[in-house]
Chain A
């Protein structure tokens, strides 16, 4: 049956509005095991959960549970930027082409502009803000600073997050690995050579346990 545990969740039965209250009794029948699961599903619709209209959801961002009002069509990027004021992730294209919105989701680099906010519930989301504790930058962020892996800096949060994921997966990347890992991040200013240097430098430091 539908696992309705969050306040605003509406069970699958809400689809069948217009079918009258008979639905409820059918559901009762099902739990009683009188008809098959499949037959029940045909009448009731599949198991699951519906969200429609403006809804408050909880997102776990940088270790904190954040409540945020979204619509089903709200992207994760918009939820972060427009509602939670987490503006590290940038909107460069809103279409998956530029990587400026890259965040980590359960440790993997993904694009926040191509993810629905409602689909990010229950996931561990880390934005660039979550990579540094208080004022201390991660070794990779430090390397970006020292090697000048940025100019206007608009693409930088996305590159930093993508490179963080890259190094987690491959602590000793070759130049080609780095290029492959960052191929989805567009930098119009052309910082790539310095970014490559930064990632290589950070990799070295991190391997030494820095």
Chain B
């Protein structure tokens, strides 16, 4: 880590001004579980690290008509929260699948959404890749068994967040605090592909922070789940994951939200699968079709074609389980 200055903020006011416009000079630290890794590898060499944990209004879960989660809420609190487990199952499961017990006690939900990719070329100092202003994506022709099968080019990172697909499937909205005060941004608009912006995975401005995350109350008949496939079950990022939220009325799917994790540079909405399910009964045939549709436009690299089969199977598994839920 470079020798930075540490600032412990106790209020939001003035923070945007302090953050300024240079992302590499001032960085926000929540749980620090991702940030410290980047600092230690000197991928980030900021002048100042701003700890936001002391800002009270960023904490806490409120559950009323919908869910309102402070950005600094730690993942273990979300995973264990009874109401979240019951009504926002996909989120509790996603939060519970992250890292390990210790890191879930440290990592925050806001940090989880803003964490940087885990691509080993991005994280390794010796590889000056596209994301580090270099001239090539090492993964494209390198060892890419964990890389993107959707939306990759020109950089084949996958978004590592487990909470993001879940929150996206639940239709979450972010409350963002910036120089002009607060604004709301639907999570679906938050992430951006490398083709739109190579350097950053989301549209948060340098001088903004996420303050709260709001999730609308699920419609009656909604059921949800998160399936995460890890190569090493004890602790791993998702090789592929599925966040599925289905609203079922009568026997039919009224609304389907299926978002995939670990397969694209952003949480990847499986639109074609959603379309296959819309208005249908969850028959075996429909499920097979939806699962196939989920990966129909996959573009695997040399070493990750298995992720296509895997993802199809995970979608199928998710739908089968939701059917019998």
Contact = CB atoms under 8 A, between A and B. Distances in A.
Indicate whether A and B are direct neighbours in the complex (CB within 8 Å). Answer: yes
Interface of A: 2-3, 12, 15, 37-38, 40-42, 44-53, 71-73, 75, 94-97, 99, 102, 105, 108-111, 113-116, 118-119, 162, 165-166, 179-185
B99 interface: yes
A101 B255 CA distance: 46
Given A15-B18, A183-B100, A184-B103, A73 B235 contact: no
Contacts of A12: 7
A48 B54 contact: yes
22 contacts: A41-B13, A42-B13, A42-B14, A45-B18, A46-B15, A46-B18, A47-B10, A47-B11, A48-B9, A48-B54, A50-B7, A51-B6, A73-B2, A99-B102, A110-B102, A114-B103, A114-B106, A116-B36, A116-B49, A119-B29, A119-B53, A183-B100
Given A162-B101, A183-B101, A50 B5 contact: yes
Nearest to A46: B14
B1 interface: yes
Nearest to B37: A95
Given A46-B11, A183-B234, A115 B32 contact: yes
B17 interface: yes
A53 B134 CA distance: 32
Nearest to A112: B102
B106 A111 contact: yes
Interface residues of B, number: 39
A94 B7 CA distance: 23
A74 to B, nearest CB: 9
B36 A75 contact: yes
Nearest to B33: A114
A44 B18 CA distance: 9
Interface of B: 1-15, 17-18, 29, 32-33, 36-37, 39-40, 49, 51, 53-54, 76, 99-103, 105-106, 233-235
A109 B7 contact: no
B3 A49 contact: no
A94 B13 contact: no
A72 B54 contact: no
Contact of A180 (B8, B10, B101): B101
B59 to A, nearest CB: 14
Given A41-B13, A42-B14, A52 B5 contact: yes
Contacts of B233: 183
B112 to A, nearest CB: 14
Given A41-B17, A95-B37, A114-B32, A72 B5 contact: yes
A45 B49 contact: no
B8 A48 contact: yes
B13 to A, nearest CB: 3
A109 B101 CA distance: 7
A48 B12 CA distance: 10
Contact of A184 (B15, B51, B101): B101
Contact of A111 (B18, B39, B103, B234): B103
A109 B102 CA distance: 5
A163 to B, nearest CB: 10
A105 B12 CA distance: 25
A108 B75 CA distance: 13
Contacts of B17: 41-42, 45-46
A48 B6 CA distance: 10
Please provide the 3 A-B residue pairs with the shortest distance between their CB atoms, ordered closest to farther: A184-B100, A41-B14, A41-B13
Given A42-B17, A119-B51, A51 B5 contact: yes
Given A48-B7, A48-B11, A184-B103, 5 more contacts: A15-B18, A108-B105, A119-B8, A181-B101, A184-B101
A3 to B, nearest CB: 7
A183 B51 contact: no
B12 to A, nearest CB: 7
B3 A37 contact: no
A52 to B, nearest CB: 4
Given A41-B17, A116-B32, A119-B32, A72 B49 contact: yes
B103 A96 contact: yes
Contacts of B29: 116, 119
A97 B14 CA distance: 36
Contacts of B4: 72-73
B53 A47 contact: no
A172 to B, nearest CB: 16
A99 B100 contact: yes
A50 B51 CA distance: 10
Nearest to B54: A48
Contacts of B103: 96, 111, 114, 184
